[in-house]
C-alpha cells in the first residue's frame, strides 16, 4: 500500500517500536498495532562481511603480507566513492540504491579477491584456474548479497544469481582476453579484449539469467522479442559498468610490482621485459 | 337461462379460487418445487462494507450494495471476489488471504459465515534492506484481507520509539 525507507542512524540501534497512525473514522482505531524490531548495530555497516572478506584476502596469504598489497584498496574505495556520487544522480529511492550499492561493492570486493588470491591457481591447468577463480568470485558475491541483509528468500536468490553472473563475466573476460592474446602481453590489446569479453559475457549472462529464471518459475512472457531487447540493453549497460570496475583494477594492477606478475602468470602471458613469476 | 348461466359461471370462478386457496394453504411451508431454487443465508461478520462482490461456482459475480448482516443467496458455493468499505478503501482479490479464497457452501437451513471488513487493524511490516529499515504500512480487515485507499491524500504516519524516547517519525509514501 505505502511504505517508508528509513536510514537508521547509529544512535537508534536496539529494540525499536514502530507505531502507525491514520484516521480511519468508524472503520477502526486511529493508532495501529505497535511492531517490535531489533536493529543490530552491525546493520549500520553496509556489507560488513565483504570488508571482512577483503581484509582476510589481504592478510591471510603470506604472499600478500607486503605494503604493496594496500594498493588493492585504491580501486575498491575508488569504485565505492564513485558509486556514492553516481547514486546521488540516479532517480531511484534509497531502497533501490541499497541494492545497487550491494552489487557494486560485491563486484569490487569480488574482483579484489581475485587479484589477492587468484595467483594460487596460476600454476594449474586452465580449467582448474577458471573453476577456482569462478568459485572465489561467486563466493564473494554470495557473501555480499547476504551481508546486505536481504535474507534467504527468492529476491536474494535473484541477486546472488545476477551478481554471480556479473562477477563470472569479470573472470571470463580475463580468460577470453588471455586466450586471445596467445601468450604475448600487449597492454592496450589486453584492455580492449578484456572490455569486449566482459561486456559480451554480461549480455550472454543476462539471457541465461532470464532463461533459467523463466524455466524455474514455469512462466514465459508473451512479449518475448521485447523482453529480449530489454535484456540486451540491460546486459550492455551492466557489462559496461562491470568493465569499468574491472578496468580500474587492471589499470592499478598493471602498475604494481606485486599484482602485475600475478596477472601475467594467470593469463599465461609473456612480457617482452619481464618473465611472469607466480607468487607463492 | 341467462340467470342460470351467470350463477354457474360465478360458482365456477368461486370454486376455482377456493381450490387455489386450499392448495396454497396446504403446501405453505413445504420445500419449494424445482422451479423456485433453494436459498440459504450468508452471515457477514464485519462492518463498514459499501460494496461486496462474490463469485459463485458457476462463475457469476453477484454484487451487493451496503449489504446487511445477512445475505440470502441461492444455495451453492461462493467465495469473496471484491470488497469496498466506507472511505473508499477496497480489497481486490489479490490482497485476500488464501482462506478467503476458499469456497463457502450456502445451503438451506445451514447459515454460513463470511468474515470481512471493519474493524480494520493498522499494521507495519518491517524489512531490512542494508542500512535502511523498510516500513510497509498495511490495513488488515477481519480475516486478514488487505485494503488500499481510493485516494492518496492524507498518508498514514508513523513514530519509532526506542524505549520511551521517540527516535523517528514521518509520513508513509505511496508507491
Angstrom distance (rounded) from CA A17 to CA A35? 6
Q: What is the mean pLDDT of residues B93-114?
A: 83
Q: CB B135 to CB A6 under 8 A?
A: yes
Q: What is the DSSP string of chain A?
A: -EEEEEE--GGG-EEEEEEEE---GGGS-SB---EEEEE-GGGGSTTHHHHHHHHHHHHSSGGG-SGGGGGGHHHHHHHHHHHHHHHHHS---HHHHHHHHHHHHHHHHHHHHHHHHGGGGTTS-HHHHHHHHHHHHHHHHHHHHHHTT-TTSHHHHHHHHHHHHHHHHHHHHHHHHHHHHTTB--HHHHHHHHHHHHHHHHHHHHHHHHHHHHHHHT---S-HHHHHHHHHHHHHHHHHHHHHHHHHHHHHHTT-TTHHHHHHHHTT-B-SS-------
In Å, how far is A220's CA from the nearest CA of chain B?
21
Judgement on whether residues B2 and B43 belong to the same structural domain of the protein: no
Q: Which of residues 195-254 of A touch B (CB under 8 A)?
A: none
Q: Residue A134: its pLDDT value, please?
A: 86
Q: Do residues B131 and B77 both lie within one domain?
A: no
A23 to B118: CB separation less than 8 angstroms, yes or no: no
pLDDT tens digit sequence for A216-234: 877 777 788 888 999 999 9
If contacts are CB pairs under 8 Å, which of residues 89-128 in chain B contact chain A? Answer: 89, 118-126, 128
Q: Give how far B94 is from chain A: nearest CA, Å.
A: 13
**Judgement on whether residues B105 and B166 belong to the same structural domain of the protein:** no
User: What's the average model confidence in pLDDT over A16-33?
Assistant: 92
Q: How far is B104 from chain A (nearest CA, A)?
A: 25
Give the dihedral sign, CA B134/B139/B141/B146: negative
Do residues A5 and B128 make contact, with C-beta atoms less than 8 angstroms apart? no
| Among chain A residues, CA nearest to B146 | A1
Q: What is the residue extent of each domain of chain A? A: 1-43, 45-266
Q: Tell me the torsion sign for CA atoms A36, A41, A47, A52.
A: negative
Question: Average pLDDT, stretch A184-195?
Answer: 89
B171/B149 Cα distance (integer angstroms): 15
Residues B69 and B104 in one domain: yes
Whether complex ipTM tops 0.90: no
Residues B134 and B150 in one domain: yes
**Chain B residues with beta carbon closer than 8 angstroms to that of A15:** 162-163
Q: Contact at 8 Å (CB) between B70 and B40?
A: no
Q: Does B174 touch chain A (CB under 8 A)?
A: yes
Residue A50 Ramachandran class (φ > 0 left, ψ -120 to 50 alpha, else beta): alpha
Q: Are residues B139 and B105 in the same domain?
A: no
Model pLDDT, residue A210: 87
pLDDT of residue A121: 81
Residue B152 has pLDDT above 80, yes or no: no
Shortest alpha-carbon distance between residue B174 and chain A (Å): 4
- The answer on B155 and B94 residing in a single domain is no
Identify the pLDDT of residue A20.
95
Interchain pair A32, B163: CB under 8 A: no
A57 touches chain B (CB under 8 A): no
Residue A175 C-alpha, separation from nearest chain B C-alpha, in angstroms: 33
B18 and B63 part of one domain = no
- For A47-66, what is each residue's pLDDT tens digit? 788 899 999 999 999 989 99
Residue in chain B lying closest to A32 (CA): B122
| Average pLDDT taken over every residue of chain A | 86
The label of the residue with cell 379460487 reads B17
pLDDT at B19 (0 to 100): 52
* Long-range residue pairs from A263-267, CB within 8 A, at least 24 positions apart, any chain: A263/A115, A263/A174, A264/A185, A265/A119, A265/A122, A265/A123, A266/A118, A266/A119, A266/A121, A266/A122, A266/A129, A266/A133, A266/A174, A266/A178, A267/A174, A267/A175, A267/A177, A267/A178, A267/A181, A267/A190
Domain that holds residue B156: 121-171
Question: With an 8 Å Cβ cutoff, are A35 and B159 in contact?
Answer: no
Contact B162 A15 (CB under 8 A): yes
What gap in Å lies between CA A13 and CA A19, rounded to an integer?
17
Task: For residues B93 and B50, state if they share a domain.
Answer: yes
Count Cβ atoms below 10 Å from residue B87 Cβ, excluding itself.
18
Closest chain A residue to B160, measured at CA: A18
Q: Which of B115, B139, B163 delimits the end of a domain?
A: B115
Collect all residues of chain A within an 8 Å Cβ-Cβ radius of residue B47.
26-27
The answer to whether the CB atoms of B128 and A149 lie below 8 A apart is: yes
What DSSP line would sit under A224-269, residue for residue?
HHHHHHHHHHHHHHHHHHHHHHHHHHHHHHTT-TTHHHHHHHHTT-
Residue pair A50/B139 in contact by the 8 Å Cβ criterion: no
Interchain CB distance below 8 Å, B122 and A98: no
Q: Does residue B49 sit in the same domain as residue B80?
A: yes
What grid cell was written down for A135? Answer: 568459485
Q: Which of A13, A14, A22 to mutate to test the interface with B (most CBs of B within 10 A)?
A: A22
Residue B28 confidence class, pLDDT cut points 50, 70, 90: very low
pLDDT tier at B26 (50, 70, 90 boundaries)? very low
Q: What is the pLDDT of residues A226-272, one digit of tens each?
A: 889 999 999 999 999 999 999 999 999 888 989 988 888 888 887 76
Determine contact: B165 vs chain A, CB below 8 A. no
How far apart are alpha carbons A206 and A231 in whole angstroms?
6
Number of domains in chain B: 3
What is the nearest CA distance from B17 to chain A, expressed in angstroms? 54
Specify the pLDDT at position A279: 46
With a pLDDT cut of 90, the percent of chain A lying above it is: 32
For residues A29 and B121, give the distance between their C-alpha atoms in angstroms, rounded to a whole number.
Answer: 8
**Pair B65, B101 in one domain:** yes
Q: Are residues B86 and B109 in the same domain?
A: yes
Tens-place pLDDT, residues A139-178: 888 888 777 766 666 667 777 788 888 888 888 888 888 8
pTM, full prediction: 0.64
* Segment B46-56, tens digit of pLDDT: 888 999 999 88
CB contact under 8 A, A2 and B123: no
Q: Which of the four pLDDT bands, split at 50, 70 and 90, describes residue A43?
A: confident
Amino acid at each position: 500500500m505505502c511504505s517508508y525507507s528509513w536510514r537508521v542512524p547509529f544512535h537508534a540501534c536496539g529494540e525499536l517500536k514502530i507505531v502507525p497512525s491514520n484516521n480511519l473514522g468508524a472503520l477502526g482505531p486511529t493508532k495501529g498495532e505497535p511492531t517490535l524490531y531489533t536493529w543490530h548495530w552491525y546493520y549500520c555497516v553496509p556489507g560488513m562481511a565483504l570488508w571482512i572478506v577483503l581484509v582476510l584476502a589481504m592478510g591471510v596469504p603470506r604472499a600478500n603480507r607486503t605494503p604493496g598489497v594496500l594498493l588493492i584498496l585504491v580501486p575498491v574505495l575508488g569504485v565505492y566513492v564513485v558509486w556514492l556520487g553516481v547514486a546521488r544522480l540516479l532517480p531511484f529511492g534509497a531502497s533501490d540504491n541499497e541494492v545497487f550499492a550491494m552489487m557494486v561493492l560485491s563486484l569490487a570486493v569480488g574482483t579484489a579477491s581475485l587479484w589477492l588470491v587468484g595467483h594460487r591457481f596460476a600454476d594449474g591447468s586452465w580449467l582448474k584456474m577458471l573453476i577456482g577463480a569462478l568459485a572465489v568470485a561467486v563466493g564473494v558475491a554470495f557473501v555480499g548479497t547476504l551481508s546486505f541483509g536481504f535474507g534467504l528468500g527468492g529476491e536474494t536468490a535473484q541477486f546472488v544469481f545476477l551478481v554471480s553472473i556479473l562477477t563470472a563475466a569479470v573472470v571470463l573476460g580475463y580468460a577470453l582476453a588471455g586466450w586471445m592474446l596467445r601468450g604475448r602481453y600487449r597492454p592496450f590489446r589486453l584492455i580492449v579484449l578484456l572490455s569486449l569479453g566482459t561486456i559480451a559475457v554480461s549480455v550472454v549472462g543476462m539471457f541465461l539469467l532470464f532463461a533459467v529464471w523463466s524455466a524455474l518459475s514455469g512462466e514465459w512472457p508473451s512479449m518475448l522479442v521485447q523482453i529480449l531487447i530489454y535484456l540486451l540493453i540491460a546486459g550492455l549497460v551492466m557489462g559496461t559498468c562491470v568493465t569499468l570496475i574491472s578496468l580500474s583494477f587492471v589499470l592499478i594492477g598493471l602498475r604494481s610490482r606485486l599484482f602485475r606478475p600475478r596477472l601475467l602468470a594467470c593469463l599465461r602471458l609473456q612480457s617482452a621485459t619481464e618473465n611472469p613469476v607466480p607468487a607463492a | 337461462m341467462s340467470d342460470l348461466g351467470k350463477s354457474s359461471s360465478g360458482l365456477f370462478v368461486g370454486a376455482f379460487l377456493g381450490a387455489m386457496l386450499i392448495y396454497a394453504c396446504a403446501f405453505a411451508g413445504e420445500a419449494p418445487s424445482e422451479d423456485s431454487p433453494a436459498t440459504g443465508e450468508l452471515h457477514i461478520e464485519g462492518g463498514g462494507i459499501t460494496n461486496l462482490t462474490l463469485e459463485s461456482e458457476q462463475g457469476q459475480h453477484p454484487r451487493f450494495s451496503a449489504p446487511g448482516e445477512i445475505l440470502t443467496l441461492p444455495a451453492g458455493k461462493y467465495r469473496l471476489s471484491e470488497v469496498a468499505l466506507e472511505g473508499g478503501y477496497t480489497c481486490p482479490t489479490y490482497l485476500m488471504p488464501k482462506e478467503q479464497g476458499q469456497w463457502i457452501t450456502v445451503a438451506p437451513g445451514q447459515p454460513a459465515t463470511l468474515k470481512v471488513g471493519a474493524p480494520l487493524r493498522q499494521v507495519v511490516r518491517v524489512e531490512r534492506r542494508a542500512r535502511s529499515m523498510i516500513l510497509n504500512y498495511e490495513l488488515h480487515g477481519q480475516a486478514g484481507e488487505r485494503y488500499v485507499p481510493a485516494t492518496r491524500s492524507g498518508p498514514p504516519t508513523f513514530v519509532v520509539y526506542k524505549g520511551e524516547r521517540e527516535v523517528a517519525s514521518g509520513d508513509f509514501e505511496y508507491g
